[in-house]
Amino acid sequence: MAKIRINIATGSLQQEEMIVGIDLGTTNSLVAIIHPETKQPVVLKEYDGTALVPSVVHFGERGSITVGDEAKKYLITDPQNTIFSVKRLMGKSYNDIKEHSSFFTYKILDDDTDRLVKIQLGDRFYSPIELSSLILKELKNRAEHILKTSITRAVITVPAYFNDAQRQATRDAGKLAGLDVLRIVNEPTAASLAYGLGMKKEETKTVAVYDLGGGTFDISILRITNGIFEVLSTNGDTYLGGDDFDSAIAIHWQNQLNISDDQLRNDKSLAQSLRLRAEEAKIFLSSHSDFNSSVGDHIVGLKKDKFENLVRSFVERTISCCKNALQDAELSVADIDEVIMVGGSTRVPLVKEMVSEFFKKSLHDSMNPDEVVALGAA
Please give the residue ranges that form the binding site for ligand AMP (CB under 6 A).
25, 27-28, 213-214, 241-243, 279, 282-283, 286, 343-345, 347-348, 370
Which residue of the set 172, 187, 243, 246 is catalytic? 187
Q: Which is nearer to ligand AMP, 172 or 370 (CB)?
A: 370
Active site residue 87: yes
- Nearest Cα to 205, choosing from 183, 220, 191, 222? 222
The answer to whether 174 and 185 are in contact (CB under 8 A) is no
Least distance from ligand AMP to the Cβ atom of residue 369, Å: 7
Least distance from ligand AMP to the Cβ atom of residue 255, Å: 21
Please list, residue by residue across 266-285, b when 16 or more beta carbons sit within 10 angstroms of its beta carbon and e when fewer do: eeeebbebbbebbbebbbbb
Active site residue 211: yes
Q: Which is nearer to ligand AMP, 304 or 326 (CB)?
A: 304
Least distance from ligand AMP to the Cβ atom of residue 246, Å: 7
Which residue of the set 211, 218, 237, 246 is catalytic? 211
Which residue of the set 72, 87, 140, 304 is catalytic? 87
Report the C-alpha gap between 59 and 158 in whole angstroms: 25
> Which residues are within 8 A (CB) of 39 and not within 5 positions of it... i.e. 6 or more apart?
none
Q: Which is nearer to ligand AMP, 232 or 363 (CB)?
A: 363
Least distance from ligand AMP to the Cβ atom of residue 227, Å: 27
Q: Which is nearer to ligand AMP, 150 or 289 (CB)?
A: 289
Active site residue 335: no
Q: Is 167 helix (H, G, I), strand (E, B) or coil?
A: helix
Q: Which is nearer to ligand AMP, 59 or 307 (CB)?
A: 307
The answer to whether 30 and 41 are in contact (CB under 8 A) is no
Report the C-alpha gap between 370 and 274 in whole angstroms: 24
Least distance from ligand AMP to the Cβ atom of residue 341, Å: 11
Q: Which is nearer to ligand AMP, 143 or 240 (CB)?
A: 240
CA pseudo-torsion sign 68, 70, 75, 78: negative
Number of H helices, E strands in the chain: 12, 20
Active site residue 92: no
Least distance from ligand AMP to the Cβ atom of residue 287, Å: 7
Phi and psi angles of residue 357, each rounded to the nearest 5 degrees, phi first: -65, -40
Report the C-alpha gap between 266 and 216 in whole angstroms: 28
The answer to whether 346 and 165 are in contact (CB under 8 A) is no
Q: What are the Cα distances from residue 16, in Å, to 7, 179, 238?
A: 11, 15, 39
Residues listed for the chain: 378
Least distance from ligand AMP to the Cβ atom of residue 365, Å: 12
Q: Which is nearer to ligand AMP, 127 or 318 (CB)?
A: 318
The answer to whether 31 and 21 are in contact (CB under 8 A) is yes
Q: Which residues are catalytic?
A: 23, 87, 187, 211
